Amino acid sequence: MKGQNKLFIAIIIALVVGVILGGIVHFYASASTIESFASKINLLGTLFIRLVQMIIAPLVFTTLVVGIGKMGDMKMVGRVGGKAMAWFISASLISLLIGMFWVNVLAPGEGTEIAMNVSDAGELLQAHEELSLDTFLNHVVPRSVFEAFAQNEILQIVVFSIFFGLALAAYGKKGQIVTEFLDRIAHIVLIMVNYVMWTAPLGVLGAVAAATARYGFEIFSLYAHYLIAFSIGIITLWAVLLGAGYLIMKRRMNDMVTKHIKAPLLVAFSTTSSEAVFPILMEELEKFGVQNRIVSFTLPLGYSFNLDGSMMYMTFASLFIAQVYGIHMPLSEQLLMLLVLMLTSKGVAGVPRASLIVVVATCAMFGIPPEGIALILPIDHFCDMARSMTNVLGNSIATAAVDKWEGHVAIEKEVMQKAS
């Protein structure tokens, strides 16, 4: 928690310094000096993006394979696994669609010249228009997994990881040593993610200083529109999740939210990490009355396949960056991006800002400059607080819903007796 707070403070300091520095250059330097300054300091943002891209392939491969491998024999998973996956897929699609809907309706990134380099616009639009269903299908299956890793072809890595994970699960107990090995590598990569995120202040400084030097203080208007639109999207998602919970669990839904998962929600909100509350969330769900076997199976699975807040954010952020760069995406291509995010989001662990990595990879795939992610880094902490809390809510409701569908009607006798 302290580390995340320090990183947040460092990013805010970088934001302030970037605004001051860029503002001085914008108002007092010549046009040629402004462009030279902006292009050079923006290299800090490029450094950050390349470091993020460096860890995309190992992060997606290890987390996705371990998530599937830990499921065990699919035949043994059976009924519970099928119900859980049905919920996860439905919730994922709804979350992605909500993000896509609001970013199109409110269009927070349109009408601004920030981050748009006119000399690059033609190339960006041309590369974007070349993307079609045919080229997408050609990118699905890798000719070589090594080529996919070398080129950071995220979708090809996901396809290979799924096949590898399923084969590992089918191998049974003999494959556990491989799962444990990849699990340790995944944890090491996640530590690397934290290291890389400490270069984020440099990326923020470079991106904000360059944007402010070129365009003045218009960037703050962009941030206001972004946060308002994102807040509306998160509120909509909460309404949908809570509504589904009430339909399934009736009045017990209120008991779960107010008495059991309130503390985990607050911890996730303050730490910006849904994984930080995993142990206490398991305990509280069992106190709520969910069977231990359902919690121990569904909740870990949900942390790999059911990050509702993060998925809503991925669609929102990706299309927002496209709007900022003036790249028009027709509905058909947005739906194609949604399907890509549906797959790539399954390789995201519940750690702070991990969803940004998927946004960077997806933007690059669809011809959207991944450098645009640096523009939203200064305010991403606030978005991360909301989406981490939403991830916890979504997984809590999913676990309790699967337990209810299993015909288990738990009554917390001890709790009720104490209350009476």
Confidence tier at 412 by pLDDT (50, 70, 90): very low
Residue 300 has pLDDT above 80, yes or no: no
Residue 216 DSSP symbol: G
Confidence tier at 77 by pLDDT (50, 70, 90): low
The mean pLDDT value for 155-178 works out to: 82
pLDDT above 90: percentage of residues in the chain: 13
Structure tokens at 411: 């009554």
**Range name among 15-19, 211-215, 348-352, 368-372 with the lowest pLDDT average:** 348-352
Torsion (CA) 284, 285, 290, 296 in degrees, nearest 10: -110
| Residue of 194 and 416 predicted with greater confidence | 194
| Element counts in the chain: helices (H) and strands (E) | 20, 0
Across the chain, what does the average pLDDT equal? 78
Residues 6+ apart with CB under 8 A from 200: 7, 10, 11, 48, 353, 377
User: How much is the pLDDT for 70?
Assistant: 67
User: Is 155:340 a contact under the CB 8 Å cutoff?
Assistant: yes
Structure tokens at 198: 């400490």
Residues 6+ apart with CB under 8 A from 106: 225, 228, 229, 232
pTM above 0.85, yes or no: no
User: How much is the pLDDT for 74?
Assistant: 62
User: How much is the pLDDT for 121?
Assistant: 35
pLDDT tens, 25-55? 988 888 889 889 988 888 887 787 788 778 8
How is 287-344 classified by DSSP, letter by letter?
HHT--HHHHHHHHHHHHHH--HHHHHHHHHHHHHHHHHTT----HHHHHHHHHHHHHH
The mean pLDDT value for 78-91 works out to: 82
Cα–Cα separations (whole angstroms), residue 302 to 88, 96, 350: 7, 16, 10
pLDDT tens, 103-116? 999 988 887 666 54
Q: What distance in Å separates the CA atoms of residue 386 and residue 268, rounded to the nearest whole number?
A: 9
Q: 401, 392, 404: which is closest to 281 by C-alpha?
A: 392
Q: 325, 379, 364: which is closest to 53 by C-alpha?
A: 364
User: How much is the pLDDT for 413?
Assistant: 42
Residue 167 has pLDDT above 70, yes or no: yes
Residue 243 has pLDDT above 90, yes or no: yes
Q: 127, 144, 129, 169: which is closest to 364 by C-alpha?
A: 127
Residue 404 has pLDDT above 60, yes or no: yes
Confidence tier at 130 by pLDDT (50, 70, 90): very low
Confidence tier at 128 by pLDDT (50, 70, 90): very low
Residues 6+ apart with CB under 8 A from 93: 338, 342
| Domains defined along the chain, listed by start | 2-409 (1.10.3860)
Please tell me whether residue 112 adopts helix, strand or coil conformation. coil
Q: What distance in Å separates the CA atoms of residue 297 and residue 290, rounded to the nearest whole number?
A: 12
Residues 6+ apart with CB under 8 A from 232: 102, 106
Structure tokens at 242: 């809570």
Cα–Cα separations (whole angstroms), residue 270 to 9, 46, 195, 263, 359: 14, 29, 20, 11, 23
Most confident among 172-186, 257-271, 361-375 (mean pLDDT)? 172-186
Cα–Cα separations (whole angstroms), residue 126 to 129, 154, 155, 240: 5, 22, 22, 38
Q: What distance in Å separates the CA atoms of residue 62 and residue 185, rounded to the nearest whole number?
A: 7
